[in-house]
Amino acid sequence: MNFNVLTIFPEIFSVLNTGVLSKELGKSFFIDCYDIRKHAINKHGQIDSKPYGGGEGMVMMPKPLKNSLKDIPKSKAGHVIYLSPQGKKLNQTKVVELSKKKSITLICGRYEGIDQRFIDSYVDEEISIGDFVISGGEFAAVCLIDAVARNIPGAIGNKDSVLNDTFSNGLLKGHVYTRPEKFEEIEVPEVLLSGNHSKIKDWNTLNSLIQTKLRRPDLLNKVKLTKKQKKLLEEWESKDIL
């Protein structure tokens, strides 16, 4: 997987040199940053201008963006994404879909956004990471790269960690516990210490369902539950067994 990033702050992406995925950077996936300011329109490094029609802030001009995009070999440009609050909200389904592509190019906007003509001509898709505003597309791009890279085969040593992550099956992950068995007089649920793998699996499944129902009930409407999941949830709802 090749990630190409068009940005005015390439140094931000050094954060991806840390953490579990850093070991696979340069192996399972590659990141190339292209500095938009290298195609500034003047010696002052200008890549933005005031919006036509008036309004607050500045808008990134289309020509520096176009020339930066041309710096990427055609064989590596792949799917072009603009990180934007106006985009479709990123979710795990989209993350997995993107992880199957060979190359992705991310456009990191700043200020009040980028000229719509560039979007119309060169962008395949707009994506948002949530209903909030951040200082620039770089931070959204880092989140997207991290999420997508986790799903590239071989990027995470234990593939079950990815398969069982929150949202991977459409549900929230349930509670998890570790040593000690008692912390501030609160004990680990007895079933998790039983050694009965069948009961432990049922407990984990049910706990995931419960947390989803309590915290994100909207997700349950989007997931097709198995007969076992339905039975466990129905029993909990009728008996409050946890």
Domain boundaries of the chain, sorted by first residue: 2-157, 182-239
Domain spanning 182-239, CATH architecture: Orthogonal Bundle (1.10)
Task: Say which of 112, 125, 126, 146 is annotated catalytic.
Answer: 112
CA 128/CA 85 separation, integer angstroms? 5
Residue 5: predicted pLDDT:
98
Backbone dihedral region for residue 158 (phi beyond 0: left; psi -120 to 50: alpha; all else: beta): beta
Whether 234 is catalytic:
no
- Calculate the dihedral angle through the C-alpha atoms of 81, 85, 90, 94, rounding to the nearest 10 degrees: -30
Question: Is the pTM higher than 0.85?
Answer: yes
Q: What percent of the chain has pLDDT over 70?
A: 94
- When the pLDDT of each residue in the chain is averaged and rounded to a whole number, the result is 93
Q: Is 112 a catalytic residue?
A: yes
Q: At what angle do helices 197-215 and 227-239 cross, to 10 degrees?
A: 70
Of 154 and 98, the structure prediction assigns the larger pLDDT to 98
Residue 153 has a pLDDT of: 87
Active-site residue identified among 85, 125, 126, 202? 85
pLDDT of residue 169: 85
Q: Would you state the pLDDT for residue 155? A: 84
Instruction: Please say if 216 is a catalytic residue.
Output: no
CATH number belonging to domain 2-157: 3.40.1280.10
165 is catalytic: yes
Instruction: State the pLDDT at residue 161.
Output: 57
